[in-house]
Amino acid sequence: MTQFPSAFADLPMPVLELSAPGTALAANRPAAAWLAERGMAAEARIADLFTEVSADRLDALLAGADWEPRAFPVWVLGSKEGEELPAVLHCARRAEGGLWLFVMQLAEAVPTVSADQLDRLEILAQMIDAARDACWCIDFLDPVDLRCSEDEIVDQVFRNRSRWRACNDAMAALYAVPADQDFNTQPVSRYFPETPVNRAMIRDLVRTGYRLDGAQAIDQRHDGTPMLVENDFRALIRDDQLIRLWGTTRDIGPSRERERAISAEAEVMRDILGAVPDPIFVLSETGTILATNAAADRALGGLVLLGEPFDSLAATRHAFERLSSAALEDSEEETELALREPDQPRAAWLFRVTLMPEGPPRYVLRGRRKTARRRLSGGDLA
């Protein structure tokens, strides 16, 4: 009895082993059945399975020709004389040398497919494979019955037989799949497990009509570590059955960590600034007001300042430019500027500005209103 690699035992598509030029071996039962339908044993000639152009391309790949793209359209020879059937072939390098060929056949013969349509299919495959975004597709081998209740639909999404299909290299990189393994042959549940968070996301997908953007989930990398991701979903539905889900995925864990760090830093900054009696402004490298203390808010009559350019508060032209120049000069002298206060359009202020020594460029302004000196009269003491 022929022994097949256990990794491919449950795959529904034919998997072929291509280890010698021109020869393919069946690597799972669907492949053996596929060859048997054509009157072939477990070993067959590539030229008897694929058209001449497709067979030549496979021989070139085996010989070390340009490896990209790994997924591309091919023509498969049918069981009838002169019959040619379209398919998509996905290749993966074998650790022992040669290739694994995953043959994804289309359901029916399409004799009217034009060369232009095939070109489009190949272009799309190349675009997806080369995309920087992680692109994925889940095919349901047992379609999800959308006539069921919402809870039953969610159950079926996670428990019906399914497979990854046409996922690109960016997807494999995002989930840290080892280079010698193919993402598309891995179980769906390995990276997209059934958890309360993920069930809630699928519930939202159902309620939005199977089109959802920015949906958060907790997936797993290849080594099992959790990963916070954001998904965009689209779906193929036929006759009240969910056939396929596809979309893009982004790792948002690092950005969330940055947001938390910035929020914590801002909280500490507010505590420090709140204890300073003088008005304090913190500006970004472009002059945007990032933080103020209570003294500044009181002095300016509760104006909305955060997120606004400092120059919109100043009545002096090129105010931020003058402040940044003073910071670079590391001068102890105060910079005089006019600010737009609610009751005074050109109130005179004096600022000392400091450039923060660490992190992204930040300017800290310590300000005060300029007080006019009282002129001395003859009876005043000098």
Helix residue ranges, H only, 210-332: 253-274, 294-299, 310-313, 319-329
Q: Which two tokens stand for residue 152?
A: 């039953």
- pLDDT by 10s per residue, the chain, length 382: 455 566 677 777 888 888 777 788 888 888 888 888 888 877 788 888 888 878 888 888 877 755 554 667 778 887 777 677 778 888 877 777 788 888 887 654 444 555 666 566 666 666 666 667 788 999 999 999 999 999 999 999 999 999 998 888 888 899 999 988 889 889 999 999 999 899 999 999 999 999 999 888 889 999 988 888 898 999 999 999 999 998 889 887 665 665 565 556 666 666 667 777 889 998 988 999 988 888 888 888 877 788 889 999 999 999 999 998 888 887 778 999 999 888 888 999 999 998 887 777 889 999 999 886 545 444 444 3
- Inter-CA distances, 245 with 141, 173, 205, 222, 269, Å: 12, 20, 11, 21, 45
For the chain, state the CA radius of gyration: 33
Q: Which two tokens stand for residue 42?
A: 């477990």
The structural domains of the chain, ordered by start, are: 1-130 (3.30.450.20), 132-251 (3.30.450.20), 273-369 (3.30.450.20)
DSSP 297-365: HHHTTT---TTSBHHHHBSSTTHHHHHHHHHHHT--SPEEEEEEETTEEEEEEEEEEEE-SSSS--EEE
Q: Give strand pairing partners of 341.
A: 344
Of 100, 101, 103, nearest in space to 76 by CA: 103
- The helix or strand, by DSSP H or E, that contains position 369, with its residue range, turns out to be strand 363-369
Which residues, other chains included, contact 14 with Cβ-Cβ below 8 Å and sequence gap of 6+?
26, 28, 30, 31, 33, 34, 102, 103, 105
Alpha-carbon distance of 295 to 281, in angstroms, equals: 10
Q: Which two tokens stand for residue 274?
A: 């709140």
Residue 276 near residue 270 (C-beta atoms within 8 A):
no
pTM (predicted TM-score): 0.43
Q: Give strand pairing partners of 140.
A: 162
